[in-house]
Amino acid sequence: MKRRIFLRNTGIGSLALTLPSLKSPGEKLSDKPVPRRKLGRMDDHLSILGFGGIMLNKNPQEFANENIAKAFDHGINYYDVAPSYGDAQDRMGPAVKPYRDKCFLACKTTKRDKAGAEGELNNSLEKLITDHFDLYQLHALTTVNEVNRVFAKDGAMEAVLQAKRDGKIRHIGFSAHSVEAALHAMELFDFDTVLFPLNFVCWNTGNFGPQVFEKAKQRNMGILALKSMALTKLKNGEENVYPNCWYRPVMDDAILNMAFRYTLSLDITAAVSPGAAELFWKGVEIAKNFTPLKNVEREKLLALAKDTEPVFKV
């Protein structure tokens, strides 16, 4: 794909020309694959960077086909998507089909009732052209009441457990945007994984993340990170350079490198990329050459975090 076509398909047009180190898929990257880590107590090993399917939203099928093919070539075996990501499932299904037997496919549901979750799960299986998900997650748990609703009679958890008995799900997890909801969910069920915002600003300025991380470690869960490249909230009227990101990611390459490595230096399995192909490919390059964060780098991030409003906080 020519560079100008790739830029157009990302949905940011000429703005992309102002961004540093922009690459078309896999351009000039080393041949070594992205490393993999064990997923908690499971036998699965995932690439330390996950392909965030939301980046496919409002992009053509050719864009999905090329990015997923190149990602697989570079060692990415973890693919994440959800019905709430616009038309991302429609794009990911055909694109990931050639690699389905060799990849770890994760999906989610925002439905809190049994019938709704069952219908959404089956619809996702159809769109993603597969007969099972390696991981199925309760998506974006935000309040204790939501969690209780999921576990109530005729709640979504009944559909999820039945789907696992039927072979449609291998592992069960959840994602959350609330420390309180996440901790409560882990008290009610022995989940296999948790997908949670873990980044240097939220962790250090918002005190958002350490509690969930520690409890998940105690339970030997697979820990998956969101928002590893996030910086802060978008201000009112601020131009959103990346339409599939609702927050402002780190825009400086040197800080982005440290921010992503901060998250990967935690004892986690993988971090799911933001909703922008440019950031995903920068993440691939960082992941291929990953080294734990140095103390001097950590101090730089902590200084920045002190003056930054976190995307999430307790």
Would you list the DSSP string of 28-52?
T--SSPPPEEE-TTSS-EEESEEEE
The verdict on pTM exceeding 0.75 is yes
Average pLDDT score, the chain: 92
pLDDT band at 170 (very low <50, low <70, confident <90, very high): very high
Q: Average the pLDDT over 44-71 and give the result.
A: 98
| CB neighbourhood size of 51 (10 A) | 29
Q: What are phi and psi of 108, to 5 degrees?
A: -145, 165
pLDDT tens digits, 58-96: 999 999 999 999 999 999 999 999 999 999 999 999 999
Residue type, 90: D
CATH class of 34-306: alpha beta
Q: Average the pLDDT over 225-231 and give the result.
A: 98
Q: Check residue 27 and give its pLDDT.
A: 67
pLDDT tens digits, 115-165: 999 999 999 999 999 999 999 999 999 999 999 999 999 999 999 999 999
**pLDDT for 10 beyond 90:** no
Residue spans of alpha helices (H) in 74-206: 88-96, 114-127, 144-151, 156-165, 179-188, 200-204
- The alpha carbon of 246 is separated from its chain's Cα centroid by a whole number of angstroms, namely 14
Q: Average the pLDDT over 273-286 and give the result.
A: 98
Which residue spans within the chain are E strands per DSSP?
36-38, 45-47, 49-52, 78-80, 104-109, 133-141, 169-176, 193-197, 222-226, 230-233, 247-249, 270-272
The C-alpha atoms of residue 168 and residue 13 are separated, in whole angstroms, by: 39
Q: Check residue 69 and give its pLDDT.
A: 98
Q: 25 with 6: CB under 8 angstroms?
A: yes
